Amino acid sequence: MNNEGGRTDWIIPELGFEAETEALRTAIGEWVNSTPEEMQPQLGEQFLAGSKYFRPLTIFACQTAVAEDKVTQDTLHAAVALELFHNMTLVIDDILDHSDERRGKPTMHTAFGQLTALMTSGFMVAEGYRMAAHDKHVVALLSELLTRLGVAEVLQWNSRKLPRGVEDWRRLAQEDTGSMFEVAACLGDRSEGLRQFGGLLGTLYHACDDVSDVRGTEALGGGGEEDIRDGILTLPAAIAVRDPDVAEMFRDPNPENYDALAEAFRAALPEAEDELDRIADSAIAEAKRFAKNPEKLIILVERTRALGSVR
């Protein structure tokens, strides 16, 4: 399936969230235009083109899965705040990964300098909290997210070049991307009955990113070569390092063994695909268990699964 460079325009009509997504774009645009002029150039580049909005779509789907009501203004505001937090993580990731491009454009630190990128990422977080200040539930969830992301990033960085297994990968994925989608689910479903669904959807998204990178398709997030260079524990890597020779190369990645590592990771793809299927099946089971209208949640899972597969 062609996912249009990782964008989600193709799924918005299927979910029936055209109006909600347009309202989200408008709200973000109005916010960018209201910020100090020192911030507007980089915020405009970051927010006003190329966003996938997968996390807001998860919020919208979770609210409508547990309630008959349409997406509320409070839910829309929460989605804007979460987008600010999400984009903060992208800016920081790009700096850590030394990435020159994202979504076909220069990254913020490349275009505007590292100091501007760091200060702008902090500005995003502060603005997200300001937007949510009237709602203690949203503030608590955003605080949970920031705490878990901080731990996950340090854990992943400290785990570089360590040939660990699939269970270790799951822990990383659940606390990294999984925590973002957990919070998205709870922003949509305030009873938090869909929390585990959100975590599974995020883990699936993370896994599909890993698999897409290795396959050589355009990734949902970062790039496969950067992961090899930095010794990042992706799902295919966690499977491949069971081989002692691959584990030894993983401990000391260098240009001389990049090709061999890439080939070992490609050989792990069939087993990685099986893991994607297991995660997707678990997410669908959670949707059916806790949502009275699970159809849109199932669409999210099935379309996410398709992003990481050629099956």
Note whether residue 264 is domain-resident.
yes
What is the average per-residue pLDDT within 266-274?
A: 96
Note whether residue 149 is domain-resident.
yes
- Give the pLDDT confidence score for residue 222 in this predicted structure: 47
- Give the pLDDT confidence score for residue 92 in this predicted structure: 94
Note whether residue 4 is domain-resident.
no
Note whether residue 207 is domain-resident.
yes
For residue 217, pLDDT beyond 70: no
Name the domain count of the chain: 1
For residue 252, pLDDT beyond 90: yes
Query: What sections of the chain are H helices per DSSP?
Result: 12-15, 18-34, 40-47, 54-66, 73-97, 108-112, 114-132, 136-158, 166-175, 177-188, 195-215, 224-230, 235-240, 244-251, 258-267, 269-290, 295-307
- The model's pLDDT over 162-179, given as tens digits with 9 standing for 90+, comes to 999 999 999 999 999 999
106 has which bridge partners? Answer: 101
The token pair at 75 is 């839910």
For residue 84, pLDDT beyond 50: yes
- The model's pLDDT over 26-35, given as tens digits with 9 standing for 90+, comes to 999 999 999 9
Percent share of the chain, pLDDT over 90? 79
Q: Please state, in angstroms and rounded to a whole number, the distance separating the CA atoms of residues 229 and 269.
A: 19
For residue 218, pLDDT beyond 90: no
Query: What sections of 219-268 are H helices per DSSP?
Result: 224-230, 235-240, 244-251, 258-267
What is the average per-residue pLDDT within 225-251?
A: 93
Note whether residue 164 is domain-resident.
yes
Confidence of residue 113 (pLDDT cuts 50, 70, 90): very high
**Average pLDDT value over all residues in the chain:** 91
What is the average per-residue pLDDT within 127-134?
A: 97
SS3 state of residue 213: helix
What is the average per-residue pLDDT within 55-59?
A: 97
Rg of the chain in Å (alpha carbons): 19
Task: List, in order, residues 6 or more apart from 167 with CB less than 8 Å away.
Answer: none
Identify the CA nearest to 83 among candidates 43, 133, 38, 34. 43
- Give the pLDDT confidence score for residue 238 in this predicted structure: 97
Confidence of residue 102 (pLDDT cuts 50, 70, 90): confident
Percent share of the chain, pLDDT over 70? 93
Confidence of residue 52 (pLDDT cuts 50, 70, 90): confident
Give a three-class secondary structure readout of 57-85. HHHHHHHHHHCCCCCCHHHHHHHHHHHHH
- Give the pLDDT confidence score for residue 227 in this predicted structure: 85
Tell me how crowded residue 208 is: count the other CB atoms within 10 A of its CB: 26
Confidence of residue 215 (pLDDT cuts 50, 70, 90): confident
CATH code, domain carrying 296: 1.10.600.10
Q: Please state, in angstroms and rounded to a whole number, the distance separating the CA atoms of residues 219 and 22.
A: 25
What is the average per-residue pLDDT within 190-200?
A: 97
Note whether residue 6 is domain-resident.
no
* Structural domain range at position 146: 12-307
